[in-house]
A and B are shown apart, each in its own frame.
Chain A
Amino acid sequence: MSTPPTTGPAAGRGMWRVVAEREVSTQVRSKAFLIQSGLLLVGLIGMVVLYTFLGDREQTSTVGVVDEISATAVDEASAIARSTDDNAVLEATRYDDVAAAEDAVLAGDVDAALLPAASGEGYELVGEDGVSPTITQSVTAAVSQLVTTANAAEQDVDLAALVSGADVGQRLLDPDADDANLRQAASFIFVLLFYVTALTFGLTIAGSVTQEKESRVVEILAASVPIRALLWGKIAGASVLAIGQTVVLALAGVIGLVATGNLDALGVIGPAIGWYVVFFVLGFVTLASLWSVAGALASRQQDLGGATAPLQILLFAPYLIAVTAGEGVRTVVSMLPVVSTMLMPARLAEGDVPAWQLAVAIVVTLLAAVLFVRLGARVYENNLLRTGNRISFREAWARRSPADA
């Protein structure tokens, strides 16, 4: 004999956990969920890899040399080149004589060769039909520096005194501008990711509610547990899945950036990723109860499109704003509930956001979440056991009177 059920006041309580558990275990085994998660993961990692390859690949140029001084000059040139282009690297390749170096240039083994000038005075850069500006500028500067230093020592001139005051320094007014591409890409990914995740999980919640109505299992459920426990269970189950997926994606993004050596990029958008998870939780829970309501308003799967339309618009509007709106509008609407989940992390990725704006966004979203969940629970309870046609929003709101249920 198995354990008898616990009866009494505790029996109905905590049942939302059992409901949530079923939601999660059903979903994680569904092909649609696995495929969607897999695609998002592959897409995200693909973007990180793409970013690394396109943005961060080192452009190595090789320069043939025949003596030690030239080799030193190429090394120096590499440092000079890097100061203008992060990814430029110059490498020296030793050859036995001028003829061998020239052959290498012609064969394309090296991009250019730095050789003693045929006139016997100075050096010359030898290319096949041209020499890239990066090589020309950096090698010329390096050779001139080396030779100047050597000459100064020879002539007993104080080089430091000679060049004193000739330094041209750099002062950057917007040092982050360099990362603009990365920031914009990250902000776009946040907006898109929330849109996709909120929509798919939202439709999953609504679909699962409608399925229970359609298969009439809801009568048995309603006779077994409080209707509110069903609602809480659904919200909790879907939230766990959506948040779990988001955390996995966020981790994948972070690990991807670390693995590809983009630690500086991580420093730029890392905090935004953290905030994204926070805002995601708030935004998703706010919407979850509304999705359940949409599901309760439809009696069949065919009605689901119409019943969820307002929510799809609610999600698409901030998406449009995020992509198109100007600075001022974005700042204001980024503090609104749901919109904040898309826009705040995006703004954080693009630059600093004042702390008070973050606080306002969080408080407003929390208030909205409480309000929506309460309203949602009422409409859900009113309509879960109604069958027949799709229920209008006006009917749904009215307290269920015995005459028309």
Chain B
Amino acid sequence: MLQAQSLSRTFGTLTAVDDVSFHVRPGRMTGFVGANGAGKTTTMRMLMGVLAPSSGSVTWNGSPVGAEDRRDFGYMPEERGLYPRMKLAEQLSYFARLHGFSRKGALSRADELLGFFGLEERRDDLLDNLSLGNQQRVQIAAALIHRPTALVLDEPFSGLDPLAVDAMVDLLQREAADVPVLFSSHQLELVERLCDDLVILSGGRVVAAGSVDELRSESEERYRVVLNGQDAAWLRDLRDVRVDDVDGSTALLTLDGLEAADLTRTVVERGPVLEVARVRQPLSEIFREVTR
């Protein structure tokens, strides 16, 4: 488990990251969301040790993370970084060798990952000659090349089309199914689809952290009631319920003390009902709520 403990970082008078604590559990995809300038990249750089924290610490499986531990992590920096004038296979195998792979092992590992993205034909092309999407695939391959013990990925999906995102997620699930994975993203729908856990950052502070389900249940329970033709306006008279919206026979309401089972019973007693359903709150709404 990778853990940030009270990480803070100041640049001059600016506090970019302020007392940030969270953990990234193995085998779980943890989404790291926040507005631009919320401190995601700064936090990730501190996790990777390329930036020293002003205070706080990072622990790995319970003890302070060492340089040796960190070398086994996989990292995809925000500002992508590879050698522009180096051939793909050569480049990837170089990174593998920096992690202690043998020359032969490094090359076959490089080919394996290139093959996964269908880039085996282009193994001897220079990175510069690839499309941006393909460059990003190589970048993620560079992060995975040494079978990392943890992954820290800064905006790994930005600029990718949906198919490319799916391919990358497949690869992550295959290569890093049982390690802690932290990835930042602006695409909340994507985070919602992929993530098990969530850390929401705002103004350098953690405003929410936990599993996506936990975060949802912490927020209020909303239900949609659809009656069979009748006007739903009478629902406003119910006690311990706040009706947010009524549109003909459909009402959107929030339980304010009433049990969900009681709501269903009451509605059914009044007449024919088409639907009483819990509304899954979209992540974007949770995000807006906690960062407000």
Contact = CB atoms under 8 A, between A and B. Distances in A.
Interface of A: 2-12, 15, 18-19, 22, 26, 211-212, 215-226, 385, 400, 402-405
Contact of B52 (A15, A225, A405): A405
B49 A3 contact: no
Nearest to A387: B79
Interface in B62-101: 67-68, 70-73, 75, 77, 79-84, 86, 94-101
Nearest to B45: A219
Return the 8 tightest CB-CB contacts between A and B, nearest first: A216-B81, A3-B105, A217-B81, A2-B105, A6-B100, A5-B100, A219-B77, A2-B109
23 contacts: A2-B106, A2-B108, A3-B101, A3-B102, A3-B104, A8-B68, A11-B71, A12-B71, A18-B98, A22-B94, A215-B82, A216-B81, A222-B49, A223-B48, A223-B71, A224-B95, A225-B71, A226-B67, A385-B51, A400-B52, A402-B9, A402-B10, A405-B52
A216 B80 CA distance: 6
B34 interface: no
Interface in B164-200: none
B77 A11 contact: no
Contacts of B257: none
Interface residues of B, number: 46
Contacts of A11: 68, 71-72, 99-100
A221 B98 contact: yes
A385 B100 contact: no
Interface of B: 9-12, 45, 48-54, 67-68, 70-73, 75, 77, 79-84, 86, 94-102, 104-106, 108-109, 112, 142-143, 146-147
A223 B77 CA distance: 10
Contacts of B70: 223
Contacts, number: 104
Given A216-B79, A216-B81, A403-B12, A2 B112 contact: yes
Contact of A219 (B54, B71, B75): B75
B98 A403 contact: no
A403 B14 CA distance: 9
Nearest to A225: B98
A12 to B, nearest CB: 6
A7 B53 CA distance: 26
B126 to A, nearest CB: 12
B82 A217 contact: yes
B131 to A, nearest CB: 17
